[in-house]
Amino acid sequence: MKIIHTSDWHLGSSLGESSRAYEHGKFLEFLTETVREEQADALIVAGDIYDSANPSTDCQHMFFSFLARLVQTFPKLNVIITSGNHDSPSRLGIGREMAEFMNIHIVTRIELKEDRTPDLERLIFPLKEADGRIRAYCAAVPFIRRADLPASYGQNEHYHEDSFVNALYTLHRDLLAFMKQKAVNGEKLIVMDHTTVHGIQGVSAIHEESEHPILIGNVESIPADIFDGFDYAALGHIHLSSNLGVKTETPVVYSGSVIPMSFSEKHYSHGVEVVSIDTTDKLTFRQVKIPRAVEVLTIPEELKPLEEVLKELEELPVTGLKSEEYPFVEVQYQTEGADARVAGRIREALTGKEVRLIKITRSLKSGVNSKAGETEDSNVDLADLDPMKAENVFKMFYRSIFANNEAPDSLCDEFVKALDQVRQKVE
Ligand SMILES: [Mn+2]
């Protein structure tokens, strides 16, 4: 049996003002081809189907027409889809009863039984081979908010000090026990989740530009041992493809985002996981890479002074790409202080070039913008500060509020953007 695990499609997302629909279309073609080439029996998608809770009609059509073509081409494919934190549970789940007729299970909520405990039966699905033989059970856990589980659930268990994390542990232990009752013929037990997991060789979602840290109650993530006892944890949410279960029995695998969602993801190896269960019931998994339909580039790769950067931009080759294939470009340059009309000069240099300029990043020469251990004179006249200096004041402020932690770059960028907007309004 082969199961394709993917997540974090973020259909409907954009970079700057540019739509990613072309890349998403190419990804869905790739996914269909991969189902064919791998002769997959199941496709499981662990949340963040859409980028927003209110996706456009075009992007919902892209999703539903993909599913329709998929099950038409592969009528025996088992499909399970859960919601992520970006999805609206009610919107993603709106066609779920109809989807059931096509063997597509869309799970966006934890339904409660009369005794106020989760209805586990509605979260568990058999995964069947083409001949109908069940080889695995899959528990489909959507992104859960604190309010989704009653406070009473799990209160007699003591897995974790935080009551919500404790309830999550209880849910996973209950699911596991329930699935074990079903799996009398050695079927594998798979669990899908959309969450931040830590504990083993931590990969932190917190530093990803496009995914802000998700606070689950008072904690930012859950320990990986919550998945102990399962044969494979198919996760979504963190965009860097990674296996956090390398030191445990259970692979705890993030399949990662399917396209680079921001410049910070440009070096990620985007792919889908192909999970195989062989005739001896051995489970293995490997990544199949997704070809990149559009490049995401920082030019130049190494910091250089503005004049050299402009020259480099003017020398970019023109090869006749289709406009939807134009790379997304961040231009970075190094400076000692104020440069006039930089954005205009960069745009001029790029006239006629086959790129989409998304972002201009300037970096002050060392000493001026150093991150670590920098001290600031508190008697500065705020009116005299240039934007980069104001950013330093923002960093000082952040450190004073957040126990000397450094402000994330993405937040500083947002601050500079907001400051620019305010200045434009004032001028
Ligand atoms: Mn997410």
Q: Considering 350, 365, 380, which residue would you say is the last residue of a domain?
A: 365
H or E element at residue 89:
helix 89-92
In 216-349, alpha helices (H) = 306-314, 342-349
Whole-number Å distance, alpha carbon 211 to ligand 1 midpoint, is: 7
CATH assignment at residue 64: 3.60.21.10
Shared domain check, 345 and 231: no
350 has pLDDT over 60:
yes
pLDDT of residue 134: 96
Residue of 339 and 116 predicted with greater confidence: 116
pLDDT of residue 92: 95
> Of 412, 261, 407, 417, which Cα lies nearest the Cα of 343?
417
Task: Tell me which residues have their CB within 5 A of the ion that is ligand 1.
Answer: 48, 84-85, 237
Whole-number Å distance, alpha carbon 380 to ligand 1 midpoint, is: 41
Whole-number Å distance, alpha carbon 209 to ligand 1 midpoint, is: 12
> Of 163, 154, 6, 175, which Cα lies nearest the Cα of 79?
6
> Of 408, 386, 65, which Cα lies nearest the Cα of 264?
408
Shared domain check, 344 and 280: no
- Per-residue pLDDT averaged across 75-90, rounded? 96
**Residue whose entry in the numeric block shows the structure tokens 């695990």:** 5
Task: Give the alpha-carbon dihedral of 243, 247, 252, 255, to 10 degrees.
Answer: 10
For β-strands 2-6 and 271-277, DSSP reports them as antiparallel
Report if pTM > 0.75: yes
Min mean pLDDT across 181-190, 205-214, 281-290 is at 205-214
Measured in degrees and rounded to the nearest 5, phi and psi for residue 308 equal -65, -35
Name 310's Cβ contacts closer than 8 Å, sequence gap at least 6.
345, 346, 349
378 has pLDDT over 50:
no
94 has pLDDT over 90:
yes
Q: Are 126 and 184 in contact (CB under 8 A)?
A: no
Rounded Cα–Cα distance for residues 326 and 391 (Å)? 32
- Per-residue pLDDT averaged across 265-292, rounded? 95
Whole-number Å distance, alpha carbon 9 to ligand 1 midpoint, is: 10
Rounded Cα–Cα distance for residues 134 and 270 (Å)? 30
Q: Considering 289, 317, 338, which residue would you say is the last residue of a domain?
A: 289
Q: Is the peptide bond before 126 cis (omega within 30 degrees of 0)?
A: no
Min mean pLDDT across 74-83, 282-291, 300-309 is at 300-309
Shared domain check, 344 and 230: no
Whole-number Å distance, alpha carbon 61 to ligand 1 midpoint, is: 21
Q: pLDDT, tens digit, for every residue of 361-377? A: 888 776 544 333 333 33
Helix (H), strand (E) counts: the chain: 9, 19
Q: pLDDT, tens digit, for every residue of 290-318? A: 999 999 999 999 999 999 999 999 999 99
pLDDT of residue 212: 45
Shared domain check, 380 and 334: no
Rounded Cα–Cα distance for residues 183 and 196 (Å)? 28
273 has pLDDT over 90:
yes
- Mean pLDDT, all residues of the chain: 86
Whole-number Å distance, alpha carbon 89 to ligand 1 midpoint, is: 13
Shared domain check, 134 and 232: yes
Q: Are 178 and 197 in contact (CB under 8 A)?
A: no
Q: Considering 334, 365, 396, which residue would you say is the last residue of a domain?
A: 365
Residue 9 — very low, low, confident or very high, per pLDDT cuts 50/70/90?
A: very high
pLDDT of residue 162: 86
Considering the chain, what percentage of its residues have pLDDT values greater than 70?
A: 86
Rounded Cα–Cα distance for residues 219 and 162 (Å)? 8
Q: pLDDT, tens digit, for every residue of 99-132? A: 999 999 999 999 999 999 999 999 999 999 999 9
Shared domain check, 116 and 89: yes
Measured in degrees and rounded to the nearest 5, phi and psi for residue 22 equal -60, -45
pLDDT of residue 242: 85
Q: pLDDT, tens digit, for every residue of 13-22? A: 999 889 999 9
Rounded Cα–Cα distance for residues 81 and 188 (Å)? 19
327: which 2 tokens? Answer: 């790379």
Residue 404 — very low, low, confident or very high, per pLDDT cuts 50/70/90?
A: low
- Per-residue pLDDT averaged across 381-406, rounded? 64
Shared domain check, 373 and 361: no
CATH assignment at residue 338: 3.30.160
β-strand partners of 284: 276
Q: Are 124 and 175 in contact (CB under 8 A)?
A: yes
Residues of the domain holding 26: 2-289
> Of 95, 108, 120, which Cα lies nearest the Cα of 144?
108
Shared domain check, 343 and 225: no
| Residue type at position 277 | I
E strand residue ranges, 195-282? 197-198, 222-223, 232-236, 242-243, 252-254, 271-277
Shared domain check, 323 and 252: no
Residue 391 — very low, low, confident or very high, per pLDDT cuts 50/70/90?
A: confident
pLDDT of residue 386: 56
Q: How many domains does the chain have?
A: 3
Shared domain check, 332 and 192: no
pLDDT of residue 402: 66
Q: Are 216 and 164 in contact (CB under 8 A)?
A: yes
DSSP string, 355-397: -EEEEEEEEEPTTTS--TT----TT--GGG--HHHHHHHHHHH
Whole-number Å distance, alpha carbon 33 to ligand 1 midpoint, is: 25
Biggest CA pair distance of the chain: 77
Considering the chain, what percentage of its residues have pLDDT values greater than 90?
A: 66
pLDDT of residue 411: 84
Shared domain check, 163 and 234: yes
Whole-number Å distance, alpha carbon 280 to ligand 1 midpoint, is: 35
196 has pLDDT over 80:
yes
For β-strands 14-15 and 18-19, DSSP reports them as antiparallel
Shared domain check, 219 and 82: yes
pLDDT of residue 415: 83
Residue 54 — very low, low, confident or very high, per pLDDT cuts 50/70/90?
A: very high
DSSP state of 210: T
pLDDT of residue 413: 78
